[in-house]
């Protein structure tokens, strides 16, 4: 099966690591918004599991893995507890958290694409669900926090583009029947490196040609 790029134990560990880091980012935003402990937990869960749940519902993999594996559900709660009691320390290592977040982006865009294809979707649809898996939780996080999703904001470093590129590479590898542990890992690494470069150099997507809006970045 295409989703078996890694052994089950390795895949599960990688999933939990990505879920934990995504949950940290959700919890930190909740603290900045002055949410209570329940709100912190909700944002952590939504950020970590939202993309995978949306993907699984669309492809018919129900109930979603987030509801059948207790580890998937509990890991964001552990991250939320860490944020509740240690958020000043977590904020100080936010740069490291962003690096792991980029790693989760690379892993999930590959895992989402391969799982969607394994459930019978075409390559283009599989790429779209690879993006949903990687970035859907972040969109839910921002909506719940009453913010314009970072995915849609020009004044944010590239996030969707690295995920799309990683997912597209996976689709091409499937098309060429060259998807293996090595090539799948290379696709995840490509998305990871592109995200790191975007953060380091401040890469952003272009806006509309001859844009006439007078809104500033702070007003958007």
For 10-40, give the DSSP string.
HHHHHHHHHHHHHHHHHHHHHHHTT--HHHH
Residue 6, pLDDT score: 62
- Closest by alpha carbon to 107, among 41, 177, 12, 199? 12
3 occurs within a structural domain: no
d(CA 183, CA 111): 13
d(CA 201, CA 195): 10
51 occurs within a structural domain: yes
15 occurs within a structural domain: yes
Look up the pTM and report it. Answer: 0.86
210 occurs within a structural domain: no
Residue 216, pLDDT score: 54
Q: Which two tokens stand for residue 54?
A: 């949306």
Looking at the predicted structure, is the pLDDT value of residue 217 above 60?
no
219 occurs within a structural domain: no
Element of type H or E holding 181:
helix 181-201
Percentage of the residues of the chain whose pLDDT score is greater than 70: 92
214 occurs within a structural domain: no
d(CA 2, CA 171): 11
- Output the DSSP codes for 92-149: HTHHHHHHHHHHHHHHHHHHHHHHHHHTT--HHHHHHHHHHHHHHHHHHHHHHTTS--
What number is the average pLDDT over the span 35-46? 95
217 occurs within a structural domain: no
Say how many domains are in the chain: 1
User: What does pLDDT average to over the chain?
Assistant: 88
Residue 4, pLDDT score: 59
Domain region containing 82? 8-201
Q: What is the pLDDT of residues 97-131, one digit of tens each?
A: 788 888 889 989 999 999 999 999 999 999 999 99
86 occurs within a structural domain: yes
Looking at the predicted structure, is the pLDDT value of residue 155 above 80?
no
Q: Which two tokens stand for residue 12?
A: 């599960």
What single DSSP character describes residue 156? S
């Amino acid at each position: 099966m295409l989703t078996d790029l890694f052994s089950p134990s390795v895949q599960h560990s990688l999933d939990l690591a990505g879920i934990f880091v995504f949950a940290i980012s959700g919890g930190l935003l909740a603290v900045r918004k002055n949410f209570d402990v329940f709100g912190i937990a909700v944002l952590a869960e939504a950020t970590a599991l939202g993309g995978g749940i949306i993907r699984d519902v669309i492809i018919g993999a129900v109930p979603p893995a987030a509801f059948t594996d207790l580890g998937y559900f509990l890991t964001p709660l552990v991250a939320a507890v860490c944020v509740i009691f240690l958020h000043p320390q977590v904020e100080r290592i936010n740069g490291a958290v962003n690096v792991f977040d980029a790693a989760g982006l690379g892993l999930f865009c590959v895992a989402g694409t391969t799982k969607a294809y394994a459930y019978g979707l075409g390559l283009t649809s599989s790429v779209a669900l690879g993006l949903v898996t990687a970035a859907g939780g972040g969109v839910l996080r921002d909506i719940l926090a009453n913010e314009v999703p970072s995915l849609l904001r020009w004044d944010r470093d590239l996030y969707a583009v690295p995920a799309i590129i990683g997912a597209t590479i996976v689709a091409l590898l499937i098309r060429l029947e060259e998807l293996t542990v090595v090539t799948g890992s290379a696709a995840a690494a490509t998305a990871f490196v592109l995200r790191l470069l975007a953060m380091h150099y401040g890469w952003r997507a272009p806006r509309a040609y001859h844009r006439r809006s007078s809104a500033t970045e702070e007003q958007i």
